[in-house]
């Protein structure tokens, strides 16, 4: 069985401070918050940490391909080694499993008669249209 997992990769403050000294385009590339999606096998024998380590290595290899010829990025890959410790120095990572699909859960809201309007025109129109279509 597979599950959908999202990874959020964020630059650490030390990296944000360091890129102030380099080319703005490269700095933006390596300090932007990035989200990656993966399908992971639930019975693979891998732990969540195993998957996290794999994503760290893939992320570094991906950046290395784009930045290996950029002098301003050499501080990242000065040894040319793709190592987990390198990732951990400059970035943090968060892992989130997809719990449910909001469209599949929407019926829970729309079957309730006591849902109050919000005052937000778009949302209230959406709620009223969903309730009308449910009655039809």
Q: Where are the domains of the chain?
A: 3-97, 102-132
pLDDT, position 106: 73
What does the pLDDT average to over 114-133?
A: 83
Least confident of 44-48, 97-101, 132-136: 132-136
pTM (whole model) above 0.85: no
- What are the distances in angstroms from CA 91 to CA 31, 41, 80, 106, 129? 9, 25, 17, 36, 44
If you average pLDDT over residues 18-44, what whole number do you get?
Answer: 89
Query: pLDDT tens-digit profile of 8-30?
Result: 999 999 999 999 888 888 899 99
Specify whether the CB–CB gap between 38 and 2 falls below 8 A: no
* More confident site: 53 or 101: 53
Q: Check residue 117 and give its pLDDT.
A: 86
Could you tell me if 77 and 30 are in contact, meaning their C-beta atoms sit under 8 angstroms apart?
A: no
The structure tokens 């964020």 sit at 10
Q: In the predicted model, what is the mean pLDDT of the chain? A: 87
Average pLDDT over residues 121-128: 87
Q: For residue 132, what pLDDT is reported?
A: 67
């Amino acid at each position: 069985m597979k599950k959908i997992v999202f990874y959020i990769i964020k630059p650490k403050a030390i990296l944000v401070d360091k890129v102030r000294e380099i080319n703005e385009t490269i700095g933006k590339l390596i300090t932007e918050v990035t989200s990656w999606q993966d399908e992971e096998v639930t019975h693979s024998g891998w732990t969540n940490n195993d998957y996290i380590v794999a994503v760290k290595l893939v992320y570094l290899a991906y950046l290395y391909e784009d930045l290996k010829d950029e002098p301003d990025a050499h501080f990242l890959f000065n040894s040319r080694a793709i190592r987990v410790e390198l990732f951990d120095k400059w970035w943090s990572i968060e892992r989130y499993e997809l719990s449910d699909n909001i469209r599949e859960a929407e019926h829970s809201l729309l079957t309730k008669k006591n849902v109050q309007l919000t005052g937000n025109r778009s949302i209230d129109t959406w709620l009223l249209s969903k309730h009308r279509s449910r009655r039809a």
